[in-house]
Amino acid sequence: MIMRLMLLGFLVFSLAFQGAVAATSECEECKTIVDLLQFEWGEKKTEECVMEIAVFICETFHIEDNDVCNFIISDFSDEFMYVISKILVTPHQLCGLLMKNNCGDFVDPLATIWNMTIPGNQPAYVPKQIVPAGNPTLRALHLTDLHVDMFYTPGMEAQCDTPQCCRPQDMNVEIVENYQSAVKEPAGPWGNVGSCDTPYWLLTNMLQHIANTAGQLDYVMVSGDLVSHTVWAYTPETHSFMVRNLSDTIRSYFPNTPVYFAVGNHEGVPVDNIAPHFTPKKYHMDWLYKTMSDSWKGWIPEDQEKTLEYNGCYMKKIYDGLRMISLNNVYGDRINFWLYINQTDPDGTLQWLINQLQDAENAGDKVHIVAHIPGSDSEALEGYALNYYKIINRFTNTVVGQFFGHTHSEQFYMMYSNPDDYKSTPNNVVYSAPSVTPYSDFFPAYRIYTIDGVHSGSTYQVIDYEEWYFNLTSNNANPTNVKWEQLYKSANAEYGLKGQTPDEYNQMIERMKTNDDLFNRYYENRYRRTIYDGRAPCSDQQCRNGYLCDARQFHQTNQLCTDLEGGMIKPKDSKKKYSARFVTSQEKRRGKEECKI
């Protein structure tokens, strides 16, 4: 089979280079390959061989930045085939899907913009003011991106060639006794920056530290991503185990404190894939949502369990005048392949959000939202992000807090009354909290907000927050006496803010243009690492502009950054792409000989 494909490939290119085939572009070459393979396999077998054709094209043209190419290489061909069979009418469209702009006859469903109906009667805009001191306050712990690896093993290779290191690479092979001799960088006792996730004992050490030192906590928010980055090994069983395990673990350290989780993209099986109800029942997410509703008993009102079990969202009136909304925004995830079939408000989560916000507005209540993926992230769909943006703008007086994660970096995002104009009114600020996992570039961290409430006239706005981190360099060097350190006691003091208002944050972006000290502080806090811990400095204008632009974008547009002169390099994370599993998965799948010629 492999030989046959290689021969065909050779044939195609030989013909192309000899000019016998009018291959004027890669697109034409792609179509020629599809025609030839289709001819080889015959019309009837084409569909079951689409996987093979797709892999062959991805390999032949070295397509690595295409989600489809990255996705089909994983072990979830069943789901992929279902989606492909729904969106491809002709085999040639496969070339359009894979070659994107280079191959015209495929309309990419993910590039479409769709519109929710936004309710009218918007009340007059009331700017968020700095909260006066002296009233009672709430304290809320925000954890995100736990990514716990139950198989983290100190001493194992930290520089492996899969997306998940610091653990046995093949669970079926017994660990060889003197494996350490060949290890380039041994995994640290408490974790490792790079392609390694959170050891379970790091999580419990953190929870114990918080329980010992934080004092009164009124509630906890966990904005998604519980499991490790071993995406090729995801199953509903392992995921359900981790939902239960981590919910119980957190509950055991804070038995009297409610915890509000949001669904992260890594909760999906396959990763990022949360199947909406328009798919066949066997793909539905009942197993995940049911496990969540069982594991989160007591934290979620009983009358919300039905919603949670349907689409992973819920609302709870947590104080007089404050509602917590947990929004599952993996329904707006670009790598959620089910959305290739239809991305228009899958399972009605955004309509549900509108209804919830309208209800809160009618009651005069304020709303906090806990969710996972920020709208400007490369994994966010622009159609979903823009609708979310417009909904929040409509209810901007009601929504006073948004608590996200996913990026692993700690950062903030501005929202403007015109989503495409940074000179329009800044009316909201979205927090992306620091991850617990060190995965890619970070030291583990957590955040505690001080929030205005509960008293008559509570604004429920964030007043300030503090942040704590775990220095992996010094703690791994002194593993029997580890400590969590305060990164800063007050975000307001750290950044010279008078309060946590959109205006203050918008001005902070302006100040960071010229204030090196302020920018560097923001930059290093984002990673919880200084240049002394191996973080490269961001010293030129292009690098700085990338971070400033990032803070203005809560959806994908460069119109918000036209004043940033001198060019721009957007911050990149060093998360490994799923394609790192290419060879192994491919060999495994081809071994099944699904496509016999």
Binding residues for Zn(2+): 145, 147, 225, 265, 372, 406, 408
Strand order from edge to edge, sheet including 426-432: 314-319, 322-326, 366-370, 399-404, 426-432, 411-416
CB 266, min distance to Zn ion, A: 5
CA distance 580 to 514: 40
Q: Nearest Cα to 299, choosing from 221, 242, 215?
A: 221
Applying CB under 5 A, does 92 fall inside the site for Zn ion? no
Chain position carrying tokens 């079939």? 341
CB 411, min distance to Zn ion, A: 14
Tokens of 384: 């979903």
Choose which of 265, 279, 349, 525 interacts with Zn ion (CB under 5 A): 265
Residue count of the chain, please give it.
597
Per-residue x/- track, 437-476, Zn ion (CB under 5 A): ----------------------------------------
By C-beta, is 52 or 377 nearer to Zn ion? Answer: 377
CB 232, min distance to Zn ion, A: 17
CA distance 196 to 587: 25
**Can you say how many angstroms the Cα of residue 249 is from the centroid of all Cα atoms in its chain?**
23
By C-beta, is 106 or 412 nearer to Zn ion? Answer: 412
By C-beta, is 225 or 441 nearer to Zn ion? Answer: 225
By C-beta, is 357 or 373 nearer to Zn ion? Answer: 373
Q: Nearest Cα to 189, choosing from 481, 476, 472, 480?
A: 476
The dihedral through the CA atoms of 185, 191, 192, 196 has a sign that is: positive
CA distance 419 to 556: 10
By C-beta, is 562 or 574 nearer to Zn ion? Answer: 574
DSSP 8-state code for residue 331? G
CB 355, min distance to Zn ion, A: 26
The residue number with the shortest CB distance to Zn ion is 406
Tokens of 401: 């807090």
Instruction: Give the range of 44-52, 189-197, 263-271, 456-464 binding Zn ion by CB under 5 A.
Output: 263-271
Instruction: Give the range of 97-105, 161-169, 400-408, 537-545 binding Zn ion by CB under 5 A.
Output: 400-408
Count the site residues for Zn ion by CB under 5 A: 4
Instruction: Give the range of 11-19, 73-81, 406-414, 531-539 binding Zn ion by CB under 5 A.
Output: 406-414
CB 17, min distance to Zn ion, A: 44
By C-beta, is 69 or 373 nearer to Zn ion? Answer: 373
Instruction: Give the range of 35-43, 159-167, 401-409, 417-425 binding Zn ion by CB under 5 A.
Output: 401-409
By C-beta, is 275 or 595 nearer to Zn ion? Answer: 275
Residue by residue, DSSP assigns 333-378 as BTT-GGGGT--SSGGGHHHHHHHHHHHHHHHT-EEEEE-S--TTST
CB 334, min distance to Zn ion, A: 12
By C-beta, is 558 or 574 nearer to Zn ion? Answer: 574
Q: Nearest Cα to 295, choosing from 254, 319, 260?
A: 260
Applying CB under 5 A, does 406 fall inside the site for Zn ion? yes
By C-beta, is 239 or 589 nearer to Zn ion? Answer: 239
Read off φ and ψ for residue 147, nearest 5 degrees.
40, 60
Instruction: Give the range of 125-133, 257-265, 437-445, 487-495 binding Zn ion by CB under 5 A.
Output: 257-265
By C-beta, is 563 or 573 nearer to Zn ion? Answer: 573
- CA distances from residue 224 to 355, 437, 579 in whole angstroms, order as listed: 23, 12, 23
List the beta strands (DSSP E) in 94-145: 137-143
CB 414, min distance to Zn ion, A: 21
CA distance 100 to 104: 8
Tell me the pairing of strands 137-143 and 314-319. Answer: unpaired
Cβ atoms within 10 A of the Cβ of 500, count? Answer: 25
Pick out residues in 204-243 that bind Zn ion (CB under 5 A).
225
Q: How many CA atoms lie within 13 A of 461 on its CB side?
A: 21
Angle (CA) 78 82 83, round 5°: 120
By C-beta, is 323 or 576 nearer to Zn ion? Answer: 576
| CB-based contact 386:148 (threshold 8 Å) | no
Instruction: Give the range of 104-112, 206-214, 399-407, 550-558 binding Zn ion by CB under 5 A.
Output: 399-407
CB 332, min distance to Zn ion, A: 13
Tokens of 535: 């973080």
The helix, strand and coil proportions of the chain, stated in percent and rounded to the nearest 5, come to 40, 15, 45
Tell me the pairing of strands 462-470 and 484-488. Answer: antiparallel
CB 214, min distance to Zn ion, A: 25
CB 267, min distance to Zn ion, A: 9
CA distance 189 to 479: 7
Tokens of 64: 């690595």
CB 573, min distance to Zn ion, A: 11
Residues that bind Zn ion (CB under 5 A): 225, 264-265, 406
